[in-house]
Chains A and B, each alone.
Chain A
Amino acid sequence: MGAGSSPYLEVKELRKSFPGVLALKGVSLSLAKGEVLALIGENGAGKSTLMKILAGVQPADEGVFRVNGEEVSFRCVNDAMDKGIALIHQELNLCGNLDLAANVFLGRESARGGLIDEPTMRKEARKYLDLVGLDLPVETIAGSIPIGKQQLVEIAKALSSDARVLIMDEPTSSLSQKETETLFGVVKDLREKGISVIYISHRLGEVIELADRVTVFRDGENAGELTGDEINHQNMVKLMVGRELSEFYERKVHEPGPAVLKVDQVCTSAFPGSPLSLEVKSGEIVGIAGLVGAGRTELLQTIFGVAPAISGILEINGKALTIDSPMTAIEAGIALAPEDRKQHGLVLPMTVRENCSLSSLKRDAARGWLNEKAEEKVTDTAVESMKIKTPDNEQITRFLSGGNQQKIVLGKWLAMKPNLLMLDEPTRGIDVGAKREIYKLIEKLASEGMAILFVSSEMEEVLGMSDRAYVMHEGKIAGELSRGQLSEEAIMNLATGNLQPI
């Protein structure tokens, strides 16, 4: 931001809390006209919460929020749009059945006497599609074009509502390399036209390329700001994590025991043409890295019997098993803390006790009668050993923070004393403190001889936690890296399908 120009958008000491979690503990941010500001931070740092406040999705509890020098408080998305602020969601919100013109003007259709004025609308839509460099006919059905182009339609839609500030939340997470380049071109173009962009991304390379300035959040607070030459990888990671990586992940590497899980030429139903082979030994922490959509979650789900393998052999403790449902997996001593905690990990409207005991109920029951004592014991053990912060065992899990919810999922499984614990994105949406506790716990379980297999999209997590890591690319295992070989470059190289050694 130039010294003379006052910020177009400014927030100061913004606070926001949700039941059980203080998401923003007083954050500040400013944005000049025609500036690209990158907002970075680990999951749970409060980026998305702030963006939702800026875009009028939810109100802040306290703090100052100014647009163009005028204090504002949005009650709904339309309020934000009136002030020229538009949010491009992580998940695109186009209506796949409507054409591009209809999508661009959804809710703001040009109409005459209640009838849609198609010619005017199409002419106008053309103008905005050109602005984002999209040369498709306006009659194209939105659902039929690739996701990268849909994103451009979203941007055209925002511009058509006269947006002065675009907020882009992980815009490249599902784009190809080429689509990403196109998007960058558009963003740079918009900057020239005086439109400001808040760009949220985990991909630090993109941030280096695009951002004029970087604001870093950590744990709901400002962790620092970088401009110009300061914007480099090392500085950003340091501010995001807040400490050196080595002290965050306290790994002691142990001598692994015999193989607990052996996956031999297994094909998942999602990638029937790609046989997968891997192994996890007792006491070993094995990471699976890769880009979103590489088939990592599907692999864990196959081992857990959610989507049974269509071919190949699964061995547990040296015994080949047919695992065709989570029941058989659990009987074989396998546990999965799934990626989608709310949908698959927990029954949110039920209590801490009911969730902790759900898997062990049957084991502890005598002829089907609930064993309430065992249930209490399982819950107490979980709450104690996981340090779950809950007022009592009868708390509804919906009201707990993401970190505590994840601890309940883990507590549920530890009651089953599994041989193999699989974790899919174990710390997604969890604050830094709870994250560290979960890492410690995983480390402890491994040191006690449990085999751990985890999937993570957070590079630091894979680097910090793994004894060994597999990298997946488009359904295949692109390579295996020992702890010594693990580096961000090596992982990205394999994850992007580059099989040549670097």
Chain B
Amino acid sequence: MESFALSLVKAVPALSGVPMWTVTLTAMVLTAAILLVFALTFGGLGSYVLRKVAGDIQVRIGPNRVGPYGLLQFLADGAKLILKEDIIPAKADRFLFILAPYLVFVGSFAAFVVLPFGVGLIASDLNIGVYYVMAVTSLVVVGILMAGWASNNKWALLGGMRAAAQIISYEIPVGMAIMPAVLIAGSLSLQDIVRSQGGLLGVFGWNLFHNPFTFFSFILYFTAAQAETNQTPFDLPEAESELVSGYNVEYSGIRYAFFFLAEFGDMFVVAALATACFLGGWHVPFFHAEALPAFWGNLLSLGAFLFKAFALVLVMMWVRWTLPRLRVDQLMRMSWKYLVPLTFVNLLGVSLWLLLFKGKGIPQMIASLVG
């Protein structure tokens, strides 16, 4: 961020009189605001798309009353949620009850910081990017458990317990499934991971097609990440047919909205991470976005990144309206008995591949054979 501020000062001479720290701070706040607006818009429009997709799959129409094609439905919903009475149960632990939704939201929103939206569009290219995402999204567990406990409701408590067990169990396969991308790039920085998938091979430069193991680890990652973010068929913490509504059963109004936004934030983070690590991130196939002038390069790469990420989000929604829900013991069994061993074997496979073929993937080998 400081380097950005420095370049900003260089570019705009009028800023040279202003103290450096104010420029940096303003840049930080602005970036955060942009990301927040993006997250909120994604949550809003995402909910609209989710309902439209649900409508299409479920042979009905979906929202179509507010605005053209019901597009403004999310604004109406948002206004309703803000205006609703904010109920805190009498015997709830007030402090924790109020704190929990923000923790959950912060957990999912903080991950946006390292998401590589474009060539130069990243709030902060941390050198521990992947690790950072894993770490901050764990905050969600604390929030959900807190919400479940503080509600003083047994269904909420059960939902919170389920969430804690589930998210912690699935963090291991998620982490292990994403490691191949880190191995190939040789860096934890998401921007470096994306760059490693560039080149003129186009689609085949992506980690997805690097070797059979990486293809498999994409599937493993996507599955495990669905569970880590409580998406169907792993949406046990909020299983409405069993736990009424799960950990957020006592929440209403804007506090509920935060859980809701966090859910969509999680969805996007999962999709974005999968895009960055396996689907070439912001790379446009057969095209060098970096070679373009900065503005157009950023715009093009942003479009590519969002396109891929939204496609994955759509897949998630599709799955959500297709599959039934697992039971809690089956969920645990799936993580510890299948996903964890599989991801470890997979990681080993990728490591061996990189060792044996000197870091080259199948497409690169074919390319070198041909060319």
A binds B: no
**Which residues of B are in contact with A by a Cβ distance under 8 Å?**
none
